[in-house]
Amino acid sequence: MKIIINKKAKLDKLAAQEIINLVNENPKAVLGLATGSSPIGLYEELIKDHKANKTNYKKVTTFNLDEYIGIPIDHEQSYHTFMYETLFKHLNINLKNTNFPKQDDPASYTKLLEKKPVDLQILGIGSNGHIAFNEPGTSFDSTTQYVDLAESTIKDNSRFFDSIDDVPKRAVTMGLKDIMMAKKVILLAFGKNKAEAINTLVNGKKSEDCPATILQDHPNLTLYLDEDAASLLKK
C-alpha cells in the first residue's frame, strides 16, 4: 500500500497523470471508473489533457462500479448521465466501449470483467467504509449484485438530490471480489468525514464491517489523500 498526502488539486493531477500514462502506453487500456464527488477533479484533469495533448481514448474500455435501481438511466442523477456529462462527452471515447452493471443481469458483469480485466481501477470511499455500493457486512467474496443502500450512504448522496426522499434505496454494484481483480487500484479520499474510514483501511483489522479493508490484500494499491482525510493516520 502506497499513501500520497497532498493538496486535493495536486492529487487530482497526479492521479490523472497515471491514467494518461497508461492510455499512452496501452491505447486499449481498461479503466474502472467511479462516480460521486471524489473523482470529479481527476476527470477534469483528463479533459484538460485531452484538449491540450489529444490523448486518444478511442480504443479504451471502461467499467463503471455501479448504478442506481429505481431511476431510468437517462435520469439527471443516474450514473450513466453523470459519466456522460462529467467525462465521456468531453473525450473521444467510443460509448460502445463504456460499461455499467446491468440491472436485469448482474452476473453478466462479473463475466465481462473476467474476460477483460481492469488495468486501473479508480475508487472513492464512503464515510462508513463502503467501496462502490458494497456496504458494511458485504462478503469479501461478493461479485456484481443487487444491494440495499445503508442509511448513511443515502444521507451522503442526498446532496445530489432535491430531497433525501428522492435518493434511490437500491443499486446494482460491482462486488468486492470483482474490484480486487483490477491490476492496480487508486483510491481517492478528501475531507474530514473520510478520516475514520481511511484510518480503519490503513490501520484497522481486515473485516467485512469495513468493506474497504479488503484492499489491504491488494498488491498494487495507492491512496491519494488530502490532509483532512489523512488526519487520523499516525505521522
Is residue 53 flagged as an active site residue?
no
Is residue 105 flagged as an active site residue?
no
Looking at residues 177-199, what average pLDDT do you find?
A: 98
Task: Dump pLDDT digits (tens) for 106-134.
Answer: 999 999 999 999 999 999 999 999 999 99
Nearest-5° Cα angle at 50, 119 to 26 = 30
Looking at residues 137-154, what average pLDDT do you find?
A: 93
Enumerate domains of the chain plus CATH numbers. 2-125+140-189+219-224 (3.40.50.1360)
The three cell numbers of residue 136 are 458494511
Q: What pLDDT is attached to residue 235?
A: 60
Tell me whether strands 185-189 and 98-99 are parallel, antiparallel or unpaired.
unpaired
Q: What pLDDT is attached to residue 129?
A: 96
Neighbour-count burial of 177, counting CB atoms closer than 10 A to its CB (0-12 exposed, 13-18 middle, 19+ buried): middle
Q: What is the mean pLDDT of the chain?
A: 96
Q: Lowest-confidence range among 5-9, 95-99, 168-172, 190-194? A: 168-172
Name the nearest CA neighbour of 5 among 202, 184, 200: 202
Distance separating alpha carbons of residues 180 and 121, to the nearest angstrom: 9
Q: Could you tell me what percent of the chain has a pLDDT over 70?
A: 100
The three cell numbers of residue 100 are 455499467
Side by side, the strands of the sheet bearing 170-173 are: 66-69, 170-173, 145-148
Catalytic hit among 12, 49, 67, 135: 135
pTM, two decimal places: 0.94
Q: What pLDDT is attached to residue 150?
A: 85
Task: Dump pLDDT digits (tens) for 27-47.
Answer: 999 999 999 899 999 999 999
Concatenated DSSP letters for the chain?
-EEEE--HHHHHHHHHHHHHHHHHH-TT-EEEE--SSTTHHHHHHHHHHHHHH----TT-EEEESEEEESS-TTSTTSHHHHHHHHTGGGS---GGGEE---TT-HHHHHHHHHHS--SEEEE---TTS-BTTB-TT--TT--SEEEEPPHHHHHHHGGGSSSGGGS-SEEEE--HHHHHTSS-EEEEE-SGGGHHHHHHHHHSPP-TTSGGGGGGG-SSEEEEE-TTTTTTS--
**60 vs 70, higher pLDDT:** 60
Q: What pLDDT is attached to residue 152?
A: 84
Catalytic hit among 49, 130, 157, 226: 130
| Strand partners of residue 188 | 224
Catalytic hit among 66, 119, 156, 226: 66
**149 vs 54, higher pLDDT:** 54
Instruction: Give backbone dihedrals phi and psi of 72, rounded to 5 degrees, phi first.
Output: -65, 155
Q: What pLDDT is attached to residue 233?
A: 96
Distance separating alpha carbons of residues 163 and 135, to the nearest angstrom: 22
Catalytic hit among 64, 128, 134, 157: 128
Is residue 128 flagged as an active site residue?
yes
Task: Dump pLDDT digits (tens) for 14-30.
Answer: 999 999 999 999 999 99
